Structure 1
Amino acid sequence: MIIEKHEDHSFKSCSGHSYIRKNWLGSIVFPFSALLQQSEFSGQIDVLERAQIFKKNCKALFPERRITTTVFNDEGIQILVTRYIKALNPPQQLLDIFLHDSNATLDLVARFVSLIPIMPDTLDENDGFDIWMTSERCISLAIGNKEEHAILLCNFFLYFGKKALVLLGTSMLEGHVAYVLTPETDEYLLWNPLTGQCHKQFDPFCPLQSVDCLFDGENVWFNIQQNNSPRAVYFDYSKESFWKQLLPKNYQGTKAQSIQPEEITYSDTNKSMVEDLKNRIERTLKYKIMEWRPKQPTRWNRQCTFILRQILPKLELGTGNFVSSEEESEFERLLQFYWVAGFPIQMPYTDVQSVIDAVYQTGIHSSEFPQTEFALAVYIHPYANNILSVWVYLASLARYQ
């Protein structure tokens, strides 16, 4: 601070003196972490801009193919899709069932993901404004869209040390789909996270129709091969003549941290609640079947119902013989007097009405054979976080004339 002092002793002369004094007015602190975060934020802005340009260029090459580079998280922040990929632990319950069979464990993990209810397409279509939840959020809410299912399954596979990527494409049955691609020793496997089914690349029964885009925790690749049918695609995404990649090799930009948690904490499902729900579904279905047959009497065959109740729990894990020797002999006695038609229905639990609708669509209640009897059994297999697998076995028994 400079202070000037003027002295005036006469009209003839005038003198002035300047003094410098230091006064503390305050300070501004710039933490190094803040400067670093600012640098990271600037780096992420550059990456997001690169992602938008990349997507535009890919669409110019193949307008019909799917390409997703950025989405919005549940806080409304735009981020790269790569930040959703990270190894995450499945429920311990799944790891303890097949301790010495890793392939069976992988199949069971895929089954668990398929039991998480799918978000309806009407809620998921938002004109390209994609909002994705973390895997932990998806499990805690017990719902997710197609991409969130694929990301969850991909993260579970990474937990086992497998190489896995999310694949975006189309299916002849489901329209836009997200699969998980796992490179094996001499082949590629395609996992449908909504059904838990695994297909080899050249499986003619695989419903996947096109392979458009891949991404993992490091990069995004767009398929620029002329034929994008899964049986014709060359999956080696390191070949730049087949795959166009978002981030070049040895990219020096800031690598963003995954938005996934370090691990997922699971909660146990109340087994008494599951038992109550099973009984309620069974009572409701019996009432509905009688309601759907207003002109015919509905008789229930207790012997067949008992057998079906023994079979259903074995179907969930697919272990052992589905029918024991005792149950088989019981069935043989039934077949001496009845023509039996029936099948099990399996579905993720969302609500009771969905189970009712699934049973109604079978049409098995509409049998007009005289003296028809019915058998109905319900089983619910509980997994962590109230994720339930519902089984309904419905059979009609027509007595031989």
Structure 2
Amino acid sequence: AARFVSLLAHQRPPVVGGGTKQEQWCTLLAFLCRGKGDCEDHAALLCSLLLGFGLDAYMCVGTKAKGVSHAWVLTRGTDGTITFWESLTAHRYLHRAVDPDAPPLALQPKPSYPYRTVGCVFNHQSFLANCQPSDAVELCAFDFQNPSRWKAMSEEALKSVCAPASNTSLPPLPPLCAPSVDPAAASNQLELEMRYLVSEHRKDLDLATVWDDHLSYLLSSALSAYETERCTGVSCGNEEFQDAVRRAVPDGHTFKGFPIHFLHRNARRAFATCLRSPFCEEIVSCRGDHVRLAVRVRVFVYPENACARLEDPQKVKNVVVLTPGPQSAQL
């Protein structure tokens, strides 16, 4: 769920009337149809999905660095564990509150999350305002049953906006659309286009191009592992991949790789982005007597790719393309 939401584009709403305040929250249906939105739209969708998966989830409204307004998601485990979910990146952070009354030399947890203050939290059943002495996230305790720390909105007020009869003017939210892109066909097509672009680029440099299909095949496991790590936060298979590469690269040769991911399937645009990296440009322009190149592309599809395609036929916002770029083995 977090990975899917993070793939939807982040775009701040336009300022209306020449003002400076940007505040526009979309319905979930409008957000999915547009395929892009602000952090509040992402957080609301992620919170709804996590609630649907049975988690005790809340949307948090507060600030991050430099007082910038921000929204993220919080879940509470049955053991009291507090987890923050960043809907724009799919990153997760454990929250351990700092004790302001602890001795000066006592060890205190160092926050890894980017959030600074929290003003309120809410979901479809409750709305709670932070009334603790400090609204700094690192000092806050998220025990929502404690009225001295969290002031709950009355049930009558909640029913006036959240009761089934209060939003009859809104259209029913349809289920998420299944992906319609064939990932295997899309991967093969994009890989052929990337190979062509690399060959043409090297031809302009008066360099021949020799492709190593076996090395390209070995890169598949790495791309799958990268996507798994982005979804779960767990890294796996790296040692096996490195061992396979060592066996494939002849003695006296050097292996160089450039993994990168995109949210579109435009090969020329992706290749131009790769060349902006000096490291990738060095690989593509590699010279030597025994240079072999390899490229592998994997397309991972997620729901709602039809909505993204409606926005721009050249972009599928919720499809991830992982390309390690050309790999070189040289003397």
TM-score under structure 1 length normalisation: 0.59
Structure-2 change in CA distance of 1:200 and 1:272 (3 Å): closer
**Which range moved further: 355-364 or 338-347?**
355-364
- What's 2:249 paired with? 334
Q: 1:195 aligns with which of 89, 109, 121?
A: 89
RMSD across aligned positions (CA) = 3.8
Q: More relative contact order in 1 or in 2 (CA 8 Å, sep 6+)?
A: 2
2:246 paired with 1:304: no
- What's 1:137 paired with? 30
Instruction: Work out the number of aligned pairs and report it.
Output: 289
**Residues 170-249 of structure 1 mapped to structure 2, 5 A cutoff:** 170-172=63-65, 175-184=68-77, 185-202=79-96, 204-244=111-151, 247-248=153-154
- What's 1:391 paired with? 322
Cα distance, 1:330 vs structure 2: 5.2
Structure-2 change in CA distance of 1:197 and 1:326 (3 Å): closer
- What's 1:270 paired with? 180
Q: Which runs of 5+ in 1 are unaligned?
A: 1-108
- What's 1:118 paired with? 10
Cα distance in structure 2, aligned partners of 1:356 and 1:173: 35
- What's 1:376 paired with? 295
- What's 2:314 paired with? none
Structure-2 change in CA distance of 1:298 and 1:189 (3 Å): farther
**Residues 2-401 of structure 1 mapped to structure 2, 5 A cutoff:** 109-119=1-11, 121=12, 123-124=13-14, 127-128=20-21, 130-172=23-65, 175-184=68-77, 185-202=79-96, 204-244=111-151, 247-248=153-154, 251=157, 254-257=160-163, 264-272=174-182, 275-276=185-186, 279-280=189-190, 283-284=193-194, 287=197, 291=201, 295=205, 297=207, 299-302=209-212, 303-317=214-228, 322=237, 328-329=243-244, 331-334=246-249, 336-349=251-264, 355-356=270-271, 358-367=273-282, 370-371=287-288, 373-386=292-305, 387-400=318-331
Partner SS, residue 93 of structure 2: strand
Cα distance in structure 1, aligned partners of 2:265 and 2:211: 29
Cα distance in structure 2, aligned partners of 1:197 and 1:252: 31
Cα distance in structure 2, aligned partners of 1:141 and 1:274: 26
Partner SS, residue 10 of structure 2: coil
Cα distance in structure 1, aligned partners of 2:128 and 2:192: 49
Partner SS, residue 257 of structure 2: strand
Cα distance, 1:178 vs structure 2: 1.8
Cα distance in structure 2, aligned partners of 1:171 and 1:347: 26
Structure-2 change in CA distance of 1:237 and 1:357 (3 Å): farther
Q: Deviations over 1:266-312 (max 9, x none)?
A: 33333448724752465147526854995463635413222213542
- What's 2:103 paired with? none
Partner SS, residue 259 of structure 2: strand
Q: Deviations over 1:129-149 (max 9, x none)?
A: 533222233234332321111
Structure-2 change in CA distance of 1:394 and 1:353 (3 Å): closer
TM-score under structure 2 length normalisation: 0.70
Q: Which runs of 5+ in 2 are unaligned?
A: 97-109, 306-317
Cα distance in structure 1, aligned partners of 2:67 and 2:265: 19
Contact 1:111/1:195 (<8 A) preserved: yes
Cα distance in structure 1, aligned partners of 2:66 and 2:203: 33
Report the identity percentage: 19
Cα distance in structure 1, aligned partners of 2:158 and 2:123: 18
> In the alignment, residue 193 of structure 2 is paired with which amino acid?
R
> In the alignment, residue 205 of structure 1 is paired with which amino acid?
S
Q: Which has the larger radius of gyration?
A: 1
